[in-house]
Structure 1
Amino acid sequence: MRIDAALGDITELDVDVVVNAANSALLGGGGVDGAIHAAAGPKLLEACREVRATRYPDGLPVGEAVATDAFDLRARWVVHTVGPNWHAGERDPAMLAACFLTSMEVAVDLGARSIAFPAISAGAYGWDVDEVARIAVGSLRAWKVGTAQDRGPDGTPNGITYARFELFNARALDAFQRALAA
């Protein structure tokens, strides 16, 4: 699996899956969540309401992930995950790692080959972007070792072959590039 980082708008990427740094309500919000909902159009909100009504009536828990169609995005699916909120005392790195790992699992179950992540929890949720980068890159590298080397019956690799961190500012990009270089 190839992993890279770039500065840009996650809503414009042509990948199988974009990951949404959602809130537990799944009904849109600010930052990446608001941008994804705005770009995907009103059907994304309808799909998220359906997920809430049928699977997560109390909201999506921190570290879990769920998929919807991507509607008006170039991507095929949106995988929504809820990062831990540093300001609310959710400071366990394993909670943040779970966001990346469960998103990868959901994406593979969908049949995705490419995925793009934002810097989950590095915005309004207050995690230090350097820490987010270290945990995110470490999680994807652990995934790569654990699953990307598996082969299907025809000899082709199973799962994600390309992962990208699409970042909102130069500081975040620098943090992720340092983590990828380590």
Structure 2
Amino acid sequence: KLGFNCTPNLVTRRPMVRVRLLPRRDLATLRCDAIATSANRGLVGNANPNFWRFTGRDNADGSVHRAAGRGLLAACAEVAADHADGTTRCRTGSVAVTPSCGALYTGLVIHAVAPDGAYAVGLQRWWGRRQWSGGGGQSAIHLDEALPAGEASDLLQRTYAAIIGAADTHDVRSLGLPAIGCGVLGWKADEAARLALREFAAYSASTAHRGRGIERIDVALYSDDAFAAWSSHLRRKLGPPESNADDADANSSTAECYDLQRLE
């Protein structure tokens, strides 16, 4: 059992779903049963390195694909296209699951496609619908259609719900993910934290009498701003962290551990 500095509830014998916030962590280095990465609809990773949103920044999906090697792209290519354009392998708000590859420390990769954040929606309204050529033989990938802010938030929450659902279906006990949508897609970290915690809490409540399910959710927060936003939101909703998540994989004295039962 992967360690927490937290005492299990032996009275109810329910899985104690805990969230660990891991500062300055690369998603590709997490040791979990499954990791979820923020993918595009074609599941092509960073096939177009000159895409304008990549300028001057790294992203979780790129890190995962670098660690996994070409095997992960090959696994993604096995996912059948489900759209008339012949390039969409995973619709926005949905996930696709593939085996792990290469140097990843996980068994499964959950590829999650989040909607565009507020600034991306604004740019699309200015420029209209656009597409980019994947290069290297990859098909063109369309950007998402612009959505009203409320609908986009609902779709981001559905993306987090789809991640949790896929992990549960595959009997995952430990799940790692980044702040989905907060990189090149432009979502604010505090909004993502709010929507993610809503889905984490709903799952925790639903597993109350099952005696199985996800026990640990690790959130790899690469930037200090993202960590501060998630920490602030979880502290408001759950109180201070129970203790530092100080097992070897947390790899940081500033990692934080929260028990979702506090919301019940």
Runs of 5+ unmatched residues, structure 1: 152-156
Trace 1:96-111 onto structure 2 (pairs within 5 A). Answer: 96-111=156-171
**TM-score w.r.t. structure 1 length?**
0.90
Alpha-carbon RMSD? 1.5
CA distance in 2, matches of 1:23, 1:83: 8
Report the CA distance shift for 1:120/1:133 in structure 2 as closer, same or farther (over 3 A). Answer: same
SS at match of 1:126: coil
CA distance in 1, matches of 2:197, 2:231: 10
Structure that is richer in helix per residue: 1
Runs of 4+ in 1 over 6 A off after TM superposition: none
- Overall identity of the aligned pairs, in %: 29
**Which whole-Å deviations, capped at 9, do the CAs of 1:1-26 have from their partners, x for residues lacking one?**
11121111111111011101001010
What's the offset of the Cα at 1:133?
1.2
Find the partner of 1:67 among 70, 73, 97. Answer: 97
Trace 1:1-182 onto structure 2 (pairs within 5 A). Answer: 1-7=17-23, 8-29=25-46, 31-53=59-81, 57=86, 58-72=88-102, 73-86=104-117, 87-88=120-121, 89-90=146-147, 91=149, 92-146=152-206, 148-151=207-210, 157-181=211-235, 182=237
Q: Paired residue for 2:124?
A: none
**Which whole-Å deviations, capped at 9, do the CAs of 1:53-102 have from their partners, x for residues lacking one?**
5x665331111011101112101100001011121334321111111111
- Report if aligned partners of 2:68, 2:101 keep a CA contact under 8 Å in 1: yes
What's the offset of the Cα at 1:150?
3.2
- Report if aligned partners of 1:25, 1:52 keep a CA contact under 8 Å in 2: no
CA distance in 1, matches of 2:231, 2:202: 17
What's the offset of the Cα at 1:168?
1.2
Structure number with larger C-alpha Rg? 2
**TM-score w.r.t. structure 2 length?**
0.63
Runs of 5+ unmatched residues, structure 2: 1-16, 47-53, 122-145, 238-264
SS at match of 2:106: coil
Aligned length: 175
